[in-house]
Chains A and B, each alone.
Chain A
Amino acid sequence: MKAFKTILKSLSWTLSHPRYPQRLICWNRKKQPSGSFKDPDKLFHGFSKPDLDENYKLRLETIRFPDFSCNWDRFSIMSDVRLRSKGNLSDGCYSINVSQCRFQNTATPVHEPICFDKDKGQPPNFSHVEVRLLKDGEAIHLEPPKNRKLDSKTEKKRRLEYRHFILQSIKVELDAYFG
């Protein structure tokens, strides 16, 4: 019954938004397990002008971690980041790959599709992925819970190191348009 409702809502969304990419609509597709991420898979993230410094480089303080939202390249293309909630057509896109995301086993991507049933008001996005924090010793194929934040002094340092690594690993796929 739930699957039928999702299909019906997907169909309704498709009819009311004929130009919205079909690849992002959930239909009846199932969430992928963490183990299905391959090392070269890319994760796309949108950025805009305020995320850049005076030299047009991304700023460390704009990189969110944990629960860093991305689009998985298996189900989307880079320009799809502009269609996210609060996104803008002038936004740029950068990518990191899954092996970079799993740097020192600090974090792992978790497939978290945005479908109609739980995220009201947000456009559907089957490719949505969240990079979540792993505890020391946890396997990279585990799915850590949402909003996990370990607040010890060492963890803060580790998170800052990780964000710096992500900043250095980023590849800009689409430039932001400044008008």
Chain B
Amino acid sequence: MSVLIPNTNSELKTADLQIKMDNSFGHVEVADEEIQYMNLTLTADDSSTVGFRYNYTIDPNRAQIQNLIYAVQIPERWREQGIEPPNISCKKLAEKIIVEVYDRFRLYPIRITATIEGGIFCNYKNFSHNKELSIEIYNDLGCAAILTRGGELLSSYESFQNNIEKPIVDFIAS
């Protein structure tokens, strides 16, 4: 069975959300993948008048990271030099990587900007150990990263998107 959530919350769009339920009412599946933090409580078992209360929250840091990535633009003078702005595929990959780092390690970047090489640049700083992790995600969906401490290069990583764990562990470790 499938129902639409009534538009009782101004932040929600009715058409965007669909939930599927099985007969037991114990299992609720949210069809919209964008909504990560939705809790539903069903209050009736009459299939014709299903009522429910929901508590809808979005992690503000996570949302802010996503907004920062999609807001990245290149400076006008770079445009005049023929530098390519980050394309939408690059932004999607950047979102996937940076949000994954946030979800798994709760690390928040100190800077998300465009890179002159064509793509997105993201910088993390470990203030305890004076380490910096710089990640570049390019328009051709390549990705490279370097780990530095006080200007000294500690390690560099190719295909960062396929193995984020090792660089992040190196970055966190003392």
Contacts and interface: CB of A to CB of B under 8 A. Distances in A.
Q: Do A and B bind each other?
A: yes
Interface residues of A, number: 22
Interface string A60-85: 11111100000000000000000000
Contacts of A168: 151
A157 B158 contact: yes
B158 A86 contact: no
A159 B81 CA distance: 20
Contacts of A50: 75, 77
Interface stretch (B2-10, B12-20, B135-143): B135-143
Interface residues of B, number: 29
B157 A151 contact: no
B111 interface: yes
A63 B134 CA distance: 13
B158 A156 contact: yes
Contact of A64 (B77, B116, B140): B116
B170 interface: no
A86 B78 CA distance: 10
Interface of B: 75, 77, 80-81, 83, 111, 113-117, 121, 123, 134, 136, 138, 140, 142-146, 148, 151, 153, 156-159
Given A61-B121, A164-B134, A168-B151, 16 more contacts: A48-B77, A53-B111, A59-B113, A61-B114, A61-B115, A62-B116, A63-B116, A64-B83, A65-B117, A151-B142, A156-B136, A156-B143, A160-B136, A160-B144, A160-B146, A161-B146
